[in-house]
Amino acid sequence: MNLGSYVCGAWHQGRQQGVAMRDASTGEVIAHASSSGLDFAAVLKHAREVGGPALRALTFHERAGALKSLAKRLSELKQEFYTLSYRTGATKSDSLIDIDGGIGTLFVFAGKGSRELPNARVYVDGDVEGLSKGGTFVGQHVYVSREGAAVHINAFNFPVWGMLEKLAPTLLAGMPAIVKPATATAYLTEAVVRRIIESKILPEGALQLVCGSIGDLFDHLHCQDSVSFTGSAHTAASLRVHPTIIRHAVPFIAETDSLNSSILAPDAVPGTQEFDLFIKEVVREMTVKAGQKCTAIRKALVPAAVVEHVVGALQAALQKIIVGDPRAEGVRMGPLVSQEQRNDVLARVAELRREAELVTGTPVHFEVSGADASRGAFVPPMLLLSRDPGTARAVHEVEAFGPVATLMAYQDTADTIALARRGGGSLAASVFCADDALAGRIVLGLAPYHGRIIVVNGACAKESTGHGSPLAPLIHGGPGRAGGGEELGGIRGVLHYMQRSALQGSPDSITASSGRWVRGSAVRDPGRHPFRIPFNDLELGDTLRSGEREVTIEDIERFAALSGDNFYAHMSEPEAARNPLFGGRVAHGYFLISAAAGLFVDPDYGPVLGNYGIDSLRFVKPVKPGDKIKVRLTCMAKSLRAEKGWGEVAWDTEITNQNQETVASYQVLTMVSIYAVPDSQGVH
């Protein structure tokens, strides 16, 4: 039976029987995948005309809320996914990375979306750029949702995480997704998508699934669409030059093969904690997901002097790995995903063996637990040794996408950096080193060629997430061979699915389009103290202009006594006079912002619940005894937390002196109730 594709609001079975998907351990056929008969132009249209508008009607916070609900719902169904995941060859701990890791990514983006994005549809990028002397012409970058479909083409190795790590930032950006899983493991992705669609948490059209080929979909792409691809460099190279991608400059984000290095630093000699950590990590990276991880260690670089020690330690550890059906007791490493992958890996190992010696793992004779070795896609962990990697080629270019790594001897730090860079651009590197200064030099040598670099030593090993784990808050991707793309990285990953636009115009025009009040825009006297106005009634530009206060020498001395800050510039006239910035005693900057609060705060009980910080504080000009200060406080940005009964309000705040010069500038961050008179339950 064919798997279903969910497109245009319904499940479709392909017209013809498609490609067979098999259980990785037993070879039993699970299902077929075919997208024959699908109208791909209609699929794109559905995303653009149904899913896109529905998502864009939601704010960032509402989309984040949907991601959270989805993560909770999928968490309840994990057991069902684990059971199916065994069929891909994954052990339980492999499934935790794929399934729990994918759900965890949804949670992270839900959290970041509601904390770091406004409850709005436009994301304001950076500060206003002054473009004119008189201040009537300014610039502001903003991001808006792209109005097309995000096409996600995923690799077979992480059928759940691979989908969710792209889906979370895409949906948060307000873009609908069309997911095409790799055929070999599409049955697991399909099961998850069925549950997502059943949950009705996402608006219709936000997620479509194509099992099987994507047919002529690329021919129908246009400039608002995007493609995010994970898979081999070879496939990426052919897809990114598709005429439609080129003609319409369709963004094409690629995450591809990578020959990732792990470096044992010269200080990490046998007997040190870092040496043991390195051995453990190489074994883990070779065997987790049977080495089918784009970030796995392929090149283990070790000082020439300790090569034999490393070979011995790795042989001993790898011999303990029990290979077999992941459902069988005690199995540590499952099979590869399919017989095709097994053949591919064995062919790649044969290529590597022309330059490197196989020191562990014989591809023909090894034990398989709980399964018939001839039916499943089993291979043993295989370790190669390259004694002269500087003159070798294949060990830097050939990726065997399985439990395969090559040990390489290096001479010195410059040599190890050069060897790691021969990967031609990689996703990840790790450095096992207790000497932070040395690690720092290695890291900076690796950084131009690597998307992520992890330094492991005794100080962080216990809590380290390891060489091979991409993390939602950090970017995943790498230059050159790794595809040149970038995903995840917190909100950075969301912005790939949005369009940045530079707005220019008068401050009022910029305020109107960005949804954030900018200096120079009209200010408004709301007729009452802005602290008496509930959240929903506050308007951008609502302003309070305070009365004046003279700053005296007594103020400075009393503030010094109260705070304990007796810095000479405040307390000693002769020393302050010698200071080239001040030329005499000045008020504490912190006194100024305290005095400003005294000038603008409305003391009575009301909708302002609290102040949770200050942003962008700058002391612009010193204030001397006798100066007179006053404050302007303007409602600059609002973000509603509907479920909490309050919203965040940022107030643009400027303290000026008697000459109308700005002496301090900052944003006061407050929580403002939606009720004029809130009570302890958060209601009026």
Catalytic positions are: 255, 294
Looking at the Cβ atoms of 105 and 514, the one nearer to ligand NAP is 105
Lookup result for tokens 């608006």: 203
Please tell me the distance from the alpha carbon of residue 149 to that of residue 373, in angstroms, as a whole number: 43
Q: Which amino acid is at 281?
A: E
Looking at the Cβ atoms of 227 and 623, the one nearer to ligand NAP is 227
Main-chain dihedrals φ then ψ at residue 375, nearest 5 degrees: -95, -35
Looking at the Cβ atoms of 84 and 201, the one nearer to ligand NAP is 84
To ligand NAP, the closest distance from the beta carbon of 309 in angstroms equals: 30
For residue 655, the 8-state DSSP code is E
- Token pair, residue 160, equals 């759940």
To ligand NAP, the closest distance from the beta carbon of 257 in angstroms equals: 4
Looking at the Cβ atoms of 85 and 230, the one nearer to ligand NAP is 230
Contacting positions for ligand NAP (CB under 6 A): 153-157, 180, 182-184, 214, 230-232, 235, 239, 255-258, 294, 399, 401, 427, 483
Distance from chain centroid for Cα 659: 47
To ligand NAP, the closest distance from the beta carbon of 482 in angstroms equals: 6
Element (H, E) at 119: none
User: Can you say whether residue 47 is alpha, beta or left, with left for phi > 0 and alpha for psi between -120 and 50 degrees?
Assistant: alpha
Looking at the Cβ atoms of 427 and 633, the one nearer to ligand NAP is 427
Interhelix angle for 273-287 vs 307-319, to 10°?
50
Closest residue to ligand NAP, based on beta-carbon distance: 231
What is the side-by-side order of every strand in the sheet holding 138-145? 123-130, 138-145, 498-505
Looking at the Cβ atoms of 158 and 591, the one nearer to ligand NAP is 158
User: Can you say whether residue 527 is alpha, beta or left, with left for phi > 0 and alpha for psi between -120 and 50 degrees?
Assistant: left
Give Dmax (Cα) for the chain.
Answer: 92
To ligand NAP, the closest distance from the beta carbon of 592 in angstroms equals: 51
To ligand NAP, the closest distance from the beta carbon of 129 in angstroms equals: 36
Identify whether the C-beta of residue 47 lies closer than 8 Å to the C-beta of residue 208: yes
Q: Which residues pair with 549 in a beta bridge?
A: 629
To ligand NAP, the closest distance from the beta carbon of 398 in angstroms equals: 11
- Token pair, residue 70, equals 């989805």
Looking at the Cβ atoms of 34 and 386, the one nearer to ligand NAP is 34
Looking at the Cβ atoms of 125 and 344, the one nearer to ligand NAP is 344
Looking at the Cβ atoms of 182 and 317, the one nearer to ligand NAP is 182
Distance from chain centroid for Cα 625: 50
Parallel/antiparallel/unpaired status of strands 252-255 and 29-33: unpaired
To ligand NAP, the closest distance from the beta carbon of 157 in angstroms equals: 5
The 3-class SS string of 390-415 reads: CCCCHHHHCCCCCCEEEEEEECCHHH
The full DSSP string for 61-91 is HHHHHHHHHHHHHHHHTHHHHHHHHGGGT--
Reduced to 3 states (helix: H, G, I; strand: E, B; else coil), residue 627 is: coil
Reduced to 3 states (helix: H, G, I; strand: E, B; else coil), residue 26 is: coil
Q: Which residues pair with 663 in a beta bridge?
A: none
For residue 271, the 8-state DSSP code is T
Identify whether the C-beta of residue 407 lies closer than 8 Å to the C-beta of residue 241: no
Please tell me the distance from the alpha carbon of residue 414 to that of residue 446, in angstroms, as a whole number: 10
Please tell me the distance from the alpha carbon of residue 428 to that of residue 452, in angstroms, as a whole number: 5
